[in-house]
């Protein structure tokens, strides 16, 4: 992943560090029950993915020749019995980076973790949301999930001796319960020698909408705490932490190297499951208006016609801007603000940022 451009105070458009990232959704289920899970309808997810075949997965990995990184995600991918097979497939197809997003619990079994690495896995992003079991297990609503994730991290630290190319990152969903615990979390992670800590500000989607009042706090409060945290870090620590999913205009006080980047990734969805923010299906949209962000039926699967859905498409479904945003130096890379967030907190904290040389 590419961080903000540190040569000036305006970040450049970001992208995956190794090129375009393909997300492949595997998770039929999950062994955590997170309060902020964006996939609140697990039955619908099961129905959406249960007809996805191994050949469909292969087609996804060969449909776009520009894809350089594949990330297995959705639900808990380690629960999918064919995950090792898919990892081998990605490796054999020549992807430089083969990764997964996981809660880390099954990695507490070192033999299983080794099997995944032997199959080609070389990038692991572990979701862990607090410095202790009280915070993390409370958010996952799963007793023991924190301790299992830590054992998983310990196993990966040992396995790095055999697989030195392995990169281990953490993903910390920032919310009302943990936004004051950045430093405590960072210190707890030190023994595991994690390569990168990404702090994802909670998105009010899925269950995040349901528990909005319990978990969502103003971006300005998150930014203030993150600034306090990063200002106190030594250079070697600062180089490993980033805050993400927060509008740039709210983070101007944070050091550029730590204040995020723009992720660029895409995945494939059965056409019937894609909905835009206004509730219309792709068939009801004007193709000339959506051509740049949405590709209709780009891949035929064994049981579905699939559409390529980019991060830009998703953001257009759930985020908005106001006219004043056009005056901001970040407007060209900003994806806007969640509609539900604006409905609750309003626009007051979003002030257009002037670029150097602008009048």
* Tokens read off for 214: 């319990």
Rounded CA-CA distance 139/128 in Å is 10
List per-residue pLDDT tens for the chain, 359 residues long. 332 333 333 333 333 333 488 999 887 789 999 999 887 666 767 777 778 899 999 999 998 888 889 999 988 999 999 999 999 999 999 999 999 999 999 999 999 999 999 999 999 999 999 999 999 999 999 999 999 999 999 999 999 999 999 999 999 999 999 999 999 999 999 999 999 999 999 998 888 888 999 999 999 999 999 999 999 999 999 999 999 999 999 999 999 889 876 667 787 877 655 444 344 444 443 343 343 344 455 677 777 778 787 776 667 778 999 999 999 999 988 889 999 999 999 999 999 998 655 54
| Domain annotation for the chain: domains and CATH numbers | 20-266+316-345 (3.20.20.70)
Residue 100 contacts residue 115 (beta carbons within 8 Å) = no
Angle at 35 between CA 32 and CA 36, to 5 degrees: 105
* Tokens read off for 130: 């607090």
Buried b (16+ CB within 10 A) or exposed e, 208-245: bbebbeebbbebeebbbbbbebbeebeeebbebbbbbb
DSSP bridge pairs for 127: 171
Q: Residue with structure tokens 């070192």?
A: 110
Rounded CA-CA distance 274/269 in Å is 7
- pTM for the whole thing? 0.86
Closest among 349, 329, 358, 245 to 9, alpha carbons compared: 329
- For β-strands 305-310 and 265-270, DSSP reports them as antiparallel
Rounded CA-CA distance 349/289 in Å is 31
Residue 36 contacts residue 207 (beta carbons within 8 Å) = yes
* Tokens read off for 258: 């730590």
Q: Residue with structure tokens 């945290």?
A: 229
């Amino acid at each position: 992943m590419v961080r903000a451009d540190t040569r000036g105070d305006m970040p450049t458009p970001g992208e995956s560090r190794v090129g375009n990232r393909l997300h492949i959704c595997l998770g039929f289920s999950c062994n955590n029950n997170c309060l902020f899970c964006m996939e609140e309808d697990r039955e619908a997810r099961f129905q959406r993915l249960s007809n996805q075949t191994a050949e469909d997965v292969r087609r996804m990995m060969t449909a776009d020749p520009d894809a350089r990184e594949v990330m297995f995600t959705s639900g808990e991918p380690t629960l999918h019995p064919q995950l090792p097979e898919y990892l081998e497939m990605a490796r054999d197809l020549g992807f430089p980076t083969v990764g997964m997003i996981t809660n880390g619990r099954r990695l507490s079994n070192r033999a299983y973790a080794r099997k995944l690495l032997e199959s080609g896995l070389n990038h692991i992003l572990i979701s862990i949301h607090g410095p202790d079991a009280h915070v993390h297990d409370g958010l996952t609503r799963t007793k023991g999930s924190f301790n299992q994730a830590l054992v998983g991290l310990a196993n990966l630290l040992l396995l790095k001796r055999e697989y030195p190319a392995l990169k281990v990152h953490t993903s910390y969903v920032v919310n009302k319960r943990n936004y004051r615990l950045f430093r405590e979390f960072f210190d707890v992670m030190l023994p595991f020698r994690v390569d990168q800590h990404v702090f994802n500000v909670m998105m009010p989607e899925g269950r995040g909408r349901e528990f909005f009042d319990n978990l969502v706090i103003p971006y300005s409060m998150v930014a203030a705490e993150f600034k306090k945290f990063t200002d106190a870090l030594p250079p070697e620590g600062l180089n490993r932490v980033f805050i993400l999913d927060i509008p740039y205009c709210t983070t101007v006080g944070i050091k550029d190297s730590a204040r995020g980047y723009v992720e660029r990734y895409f995945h494939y969805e059965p056409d019937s499951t894609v909905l835009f923010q206004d509730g219309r299906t792709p068939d009801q949209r004007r193709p000339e208006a959506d051509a740049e962000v949405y590709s209709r039926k780009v891949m035929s699967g064994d049981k579905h016609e699939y559409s390529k859905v980019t991060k830009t498409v998703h953001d257009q479904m759930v985020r908005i801007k106001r006219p004043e945003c056009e005056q901001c130096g970040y407007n060209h890379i900003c994806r806007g603000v969640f509609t539900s967030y604006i409905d609750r907190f309003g626009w007051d904290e979003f002030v257009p940022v002037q670029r150097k040389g602008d009048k």
